[in-house]
Chains A and B, each alone.
Chain A
Amino acid sequence: MIRIELPQHLRTLARVKGEVQLDVNGPATMHEVVDALEIKYPMLSGTIRDQSTRRRRPLVRFFACGDDISHLPLEAALPSQIATGTEPLIIVGAIAGG
């Protein structure tokens, strides 16, 4: 089970409060996590990854175990603490704008 902290706007869009918890098929990677997230919460489709390129949106960042993993390949294995749910995967909207 993977724990995910979503940014406020995406929590509102998905109508959830607090952390989201989900299971992924196969190895825990960002692609698998976002795939599982979009199946459970289809209204989030395209909000984290671009619909056509499947790349991370430029102003969305991923944090795991205190590290910014935004620039790791989306196919890279997530840290074991994330895969086991010991630590939450944090998805944030970059601080920008007004």
Chain B
Amino acid sequence: MSSVRVLAGTRKGAFILTSDATRRDWEIDGPYFAGWEIYHMKGSPIDPDRIYASQTSGWFGQIVQRSDDGGRTWNTPGTSEEDLRGPDGLPRGRSNDFRYDGIPGTHQWYDGTQHPWEFKRVWHFEPAHDSPDHVYAGVEDAALFESNDGGKSWRELSALRNHDSGPKWQPGAGGMCLHTILLDPANAKRMFVAISAAGAFRSDDAGETWKPINRGLRSNFMPDAEAEVGHCVHRIAMHASRPQTLFMQKHWDVMRSDDGGDSWREVSGNLPTDFGFPIDVHAHEPETIYVVPIKSDSEHFPLEGKLRVYRSRTGGNEWEELSHGLPERDCYVNVLRDAMCVDSLDPCGIYFGTTGGQIYASADSGDSWNAIVRDLPAVLSVEVQTLR
């Protein structure tokens, strides 16, 4: 029988929540890495027992953790007894060595001056489709790294950061992070990334060269509202069956592209506010998308204290409020950009976590919701694995 495994990263550790396909009763394990910030965990699409986790701390920096047994046990890659007995011998310990390629240069700082690129943490892991040992990492300050040895070592795909526009990239309030990595399942050479606040970029040659794909975005906080880069893209999402179609939650505005990001059009439609962080696509309906409207960029909480997911079954513009089972009053949490996901069961399950420590799940494509856990630390990310 199928089951689901939810991987939740929080401000104070990781939690793993499991259920059978009914998604009614949940078992909650954790905290793993107690006291550390877990920015993101994600499993390999090839081997679901292979999970990567980004463990970070303002004190001790970045740690990469890897599980090869579905999250039961964890190791920093390259430091297991087996690794240390290997032909290369001691020392290892390069799994958290995210060193920029060459002289890093500078990007724009909050005050408009230039500021050196400085590695801070991994925001997002994206395991590749070809091997469990192949994984990408999106980091702050914004750059893309790749590992081909299961996270034991990393190399920067530096053409992205070295793009001519790099000195114009600037941090958003959360830092200058590369937070979204989308891999085209039909074209191993095509990938998309998104950076706050630089925008979206596409590579058609496996990361050798990159192109900003922000035409059609409008950001009124910028001197040139339609500039090539500088947009605060919060998240982009894609359905595996239609890799040419992308959906974007921008700082303000929900956007859509049908040409692989070459051009975008706004599909905010009747949303009560088009500010928000996450966006995702239904597993079986490529035109059904989900967002969580947030009041504004100065008030990071839902409108009127009512937590709501909005669903469009038309690929945008026409949105319906989903509220059954969600708080009707006094709710002032946020839902962060990597904290929403979908499973591939039928009906499709939707999950999101809040800064108030709740993880909500819907087993019916969003029609109704339940909190599967209520009192975790602030939730930074939520991923789900559908296990068959």
- Contact between B91 and A42, CB atoms less than 8 A apart: yes
Classify the secondary structure of B's interface with A.
Answer: loop
**Per-residue 0/1 for A2-35: is the Cβ within 8 Å of any B Cβ (1 yes, 0 no)?**
0000010110110000000000000000000000
Is B26 interfacial (CB 8 A cutoff)?
Answer: no
Q: Which 8 A-B pairs have the closest CB atoms?
A: A42-B93, A45-B93, A47-B60, A43-B76, A93-B59, A59-B59, A42-B79, A39-B91
Known: A42-B76, A42-B92. 18 other contacts (CB 8 A): A9-B36, A9-B57, A12-B34, A13-B60, A13-B76, A38-B93, A42-B93, A43-B63, A43-B93, A45-B91, A45-B96, A45-B97, A46-B61, A46-B96, A51-B96, A52-B99, A57-B60, A93-B59
Contacts of A45 in B (CB 8 A): 91-94, 96-97
Interface size class of B (residues with CB under 8 A): 20 to 34
Asked if residues A46 and B62 are in contact (CB atoms below 8 Å), the reply is yes
Complex: A9 Cα to B60 Cα, angstroms: 9
When the two chains form their complex, are residues A47 and B61 in contact, meaning their CB atoms are under 8 A apart?
A: yes
The main secondary structure of chain A at its interface with chain B is loop
B60 and A93 contact, CB distance less than 8 A: yes
Task: Out of B34, B35, B79, name the residue touching A43 (CB < 8 Å).
Answer: B79
User: A50 contacts which of B61, B84, B100 (Cβ < 8 Å)?
Assistant: B61
User: What residues of B have a CB within 8 angstroms of the CB of A12 in the complex?
Assistant: 34
Counting CB contacts under 8 A, is B90 at the interface? yes
> Is B78 positioned at the interface, with any CB of A under 8 Å from its CB?
yes
Instruction: Report the bound CA distance from A75 to B103 in whole Å.
Output: 25
A43→B34 CA distance, assembly (Å): 16
Which B residues lie within 8 Å of A43 (CB)?
63, 76, 79, 93
- Please pick, from B59, B97, B98, the residue contacting A94 in the complex, using a CB distance under 8 A: B59
